[in-house]
Amino acid sequence: MTRTRILVADPLRIFRAGVRNLLAREADFEVVEAGSLEEMLAAVDGRCPDIALVDLELPPVGGVRAVRRLAQRCSLYTIVWSFEPSRETVLAAVRAGAHGFLHKEISPEGLVRALRGVVRGEAPLSRDLASLMIEALHGLDERARARERARVLTARERQVLELVAQGKRNKQIALALTISEFTVKRHVQNILQKLGLPSRRAAATFHAAAFGAEEAPLSATLVA
């Protein structure tokens, strides 16, 4: 009988031991372990596994980047798992190439079912993580729509919008772009009018939706 080769990449030895003990009872699985990215790449050198279970916190670069590196070396199914997945991490893992995402609190029976499902071509995703994934995809749609709206702005107006989103006042924007404060005010008015927005705060929110929250932290000093 051909056994499915499972790579368990997790920094916690005790956790790997649990997975190994579980899968050792199943005649159709064989297990290879790794505690870090380096160990993982060494483990796949020469013989790729069929499935990789990769911890989101795999040292030293994290599970998402590990998934990408693994995909460069092997053609396999990759499942990322963690104790506290979020919408962003689930989406990041899937975009990096993961075929599924599981909670580490999964039952032993659930894990075996998920792995056998992968062999049959299913994508393992816990129900609540499926909801997170859908939310994340909705977010992507919103982002795409916001970026489409932003196309009406000129290049200079987009620069001003980015600085507004960073909480900069008109004087600071003028200095940054080497233009007059009067010109900045005019650009801000044009931005608000073109995008149909009521205030600078709304403009900052729009920028975050279009280009990412990490690029546009709201400042308490924002003024309308």
Nearest of 179, 165, 174 to residue 208 by alpha carbon: 165
Strand ranges (E), the chain: 4-9, 29-34, 51-55, 77-82, 100-103
- Smallest distance, other proteins to C-beta of residue 18, A: 3
187: contact with other proteins by CB under 8 A = no
- Smallest distance, other proteins to C-beta of residue 104, A: 6
83: contact with other proteins by CB under 8 A = yes
For other proteins, the binding residue among 32, 41, 71, 106 (CB under 8 A) is 106
The span of 103-111, 174-182, 196-204, 206-214 binding other proteins (CB under 8 A) equals: 103-111
CA distance 185 to 171: 10
DSSP state of 110: H
Q: Looking at beta carbons only, is 18 or 139 nearer to other proteins?
A: 18
Q: Count of residues for the chain?
A: 224
Find the helix packing angle between 13-24 and 108-119, rounded to 10°.
Answer: 70
For other proteins, the binding residue among 5, 15, 32, 65 (CB under 8 A) is 15
For tokens 């308490």, name the residue: 220
- 81-115: b (≥16 Cβ within 10 Å) or e: bbeebebebbbbbbebbbbbbbebeeeeeebbebb
Q: Looking at beta carbons only, is 33 or 181 nearer to other proteins?
A: 33
60: contact with other proteins by CB under 8 A = no
The span of 7-15, 192-200, 202-210, 215-223 binding other proteins (CB under 8 A) equals: 7-15
Quick note: the x/- pattern for other proteins over 108-137, rule CB under 8 A, is x--x--------------------------
Q: Where in 16-35 is the site for other proteins (CB under 8 A)?
A: 17-22
CB 224 within 8 A of CB 200: yes
For other proteins, the binding residue among 1, 2, 14, 198 (CB under 8 A) is 14
Per-position DSSP letters for 169-183, written without gaps between them: -HHHHHHHHT--HHH
The span of 106-114, 125-133, 148-156, 163-171 binding other proteins (CB under 8 A) equals: 106-114
Nearest of 4, 61, 55 to residue 38 by alpha carbon: 61
- Contacting positions for other proteins (CB under 8 A): 11-15, 17-22, 83, 104-108, 111
